[in-house]
Amino acid sequence: MKQIPKKLAITLADIHQLYIKTLGFHWNVEDARFSQLHNLFQDLYEELAEHLDLVAERIRMLGEKSPGSIRELNELKRLKDTGVVAWADEMIEQLSNDYKSLIEFLKEDIDQADKEGDPGTADLLTNILRSYEKNHWFLVSHLKKS
């Protein structure tokens, strides 16, 4: 099997981990900025859900099965689960760090897709990369002190 479907399965697991974490933060955020953060987290997890579908479908287009169970996804993911987080700034910082990690992983995957002559995968991942760079910037901006 070529490396791209394997790398995409790992990326799918990482996106799923970030989706679950972001959804949990959306449910549990408490802060003077509640409405703003609640809505931001919702925007983030909704976009992550779209990316999950796109990546899983790309794996299928490449002729492989997409991981579809919690067990499979947990075995593949590189991002860590952190459990309950009490403070909004800690939530933002964790999401920011996870997006930063995903950005680096995506750059590696794009390079691999280019090496394997797979411009469709490279294009898909480049579009996701742009989105994650923007989301990382949004999150980091929330941590700036005036």
Number of domains into which the chain is organized: 1
Give the three-class secondary structure for 78.
coil
Half-sphere exposure of 94 (CA within 13 A, CB side): 22
**Mean local confidence (pLDDT), 35-43:** 96
d(CA 113, CA 128): 14
In the predicted model, what is the mean pLDDT of residues 5-27? 96
The domain spanning residue 79 has which CATH number?
1.20.1260.10
Reported pTM: 0.94
At residue 30's C-alpha, the angle toward residues 135 and 48, to 5°, is: 30
Q: What is the mean pLDDT of residues 113-130?
A: 96
Give residue 42's identity as a one-letter amino acid code. Answer: Q
Q: What is the pLDDT of residue 1?
A: 42
Q: Domain range holding 54?
A: 3-143
